[in-house]
Amino acid sequence: MNILSRIFSTKNVDTKNVETKAAETVNMTVQNVPPSFLYNAIFGNGIVTSTQAFKYYRDNAAVAIAVDMIAEAVEEIKPMLMINGEFETDHELINLILNPNGFNDYKEFMGTVIRNYLLTHNSYLLALGNYKFPPLELYPIKPTNIAIYPNVDGYVDQYYMSNTVSDGQYRREVERGKLTKFINEDGLAELYHIMGYSSTADNSQGDSPLTAILGDIQHIIKGNAHNIGLLENGASPSIWVDFGDAPPETELSNRRTNIDQQLTGPENTGKPIVTSSDGQKGKTTITDLTMNNRDMAYEKLNEFANLNVFKRYGIPLPLVTLAASTFNNFHNAILYFYEKAVIPNINTIFGGMSKFLILKYKDLANTDAVITFNPNEIPALMTKKLEEIKTRKDINIESTNELRTMLPDREDIEGGDSVYIQGSMRAIDEEEPEPVTEETIRKDLGIEKEPEEE
């Protein structure tokens, strides 16, 4: 269903109130929505739309690889609560996230949530049940299933959702003077929007990260279509057409149209050119149109375009191309991948979940609880921590027990509060012992020095 169908659909609308709802929709569209709303929603106004982003994910290998690499890493990270600096996993909120609904397990749920965000910088969560209480179920909603109505203040006035488990309007309601919620008409469902940065005039939705690399993506897609055309059609012409008979403008236009239909575009790539002339009767000439510099540059441009996609998503090049990979930098690339691509995105998702869900649980409402993860459960981050501990131990300004606090489930040990001087195993706070001499040895052994002979 396209966006116009979603906006004006009467699905799940009480027929007795059709006229009222239609009037409300028209009034809202005219008064509260900027005039360019429908045009921008359909054509994007230079911004990659949600529909386009999902299509690029299906059509472009570089986009799919980058998004899936991050998403698959995020799916393996389990959520937990942090309350007063302590991790907590045994709570009904965490159980809800791990078992969100009857259709999705945690990996499916989180995989959809993170991919929606990575592709569009917009990800939606739907909580079913009375919005004043903990949710009964939690669903990920694709941006393509939502129409957005901005208000004159630049923020969303309401969402209209279709083809989901709870279609309909979700209107903006303000609680406690500043807490904004989007509730459906019967109050039995609430929608939450996790949004990235918006560079447009309003703040109704984030910019897709694909917008900045749209040219690179189109280059890859069209280039692939070009190459497939070469394989299917078996030739690679590059032509300049000059009609020596100086045809009138109408005829020239017709000929140009025929050439466009028969020779231009990726679907015609490589088709041989067949012509006839008044030359020598019975003579057939086949001219090979050789590859020019522009054609030869395609491979390099395609490589640059793919690399730009990976860099846009923070994917280290050693993880995606052998040309940049060595035994020495592969380990560091994995760590960089988590620090620059995985952790920032999962923090955004868990941060949005915290704002949406924490206050629905009375035992968490007045605490500093947040939904997060344990970095010690991520091998790449744990390896970094061990390297940090080793470095700090070599610097030798901290005790063993201080270093043990950096590791999970480590108790203090007896005698571990002292810092020892390297090479002597003497605690740094101990007095320096007297130097060993013959006199100190005799003193320790109780042997008196024999008098010297005169």
Q: Is the dihedral of CA 51, 57, 62, 67 positive or negative?
A: positive
Contact predicate 150/34, CB 8 Å: yes
pLDDT at 225: 75
pLDDT at 40: 46
Report, as ranges of residue numbers, the positions in the chain whose pLDDT lies below 70.
1-46, 176-177, 226, 230-231, 233-245, 263-298, 324-325, 327, 409, 415-417, 419-436, 438, 440-454
Beta bridge partners of 173: 181
Could you give the CA distance from residue 266 to residue 224 in angstroms, rounded to a whole number? 9
- Phi, psi dihedrals of residue 302, rounded to the nearest 5°: -65, -40
pLDDT at 56: 93
pLDDT at 169: 95
pTM of the model: 0.71
CA distances from 85 to 94, 181, 339, 350, 382 (A): 17, 28, 21, 16, 19
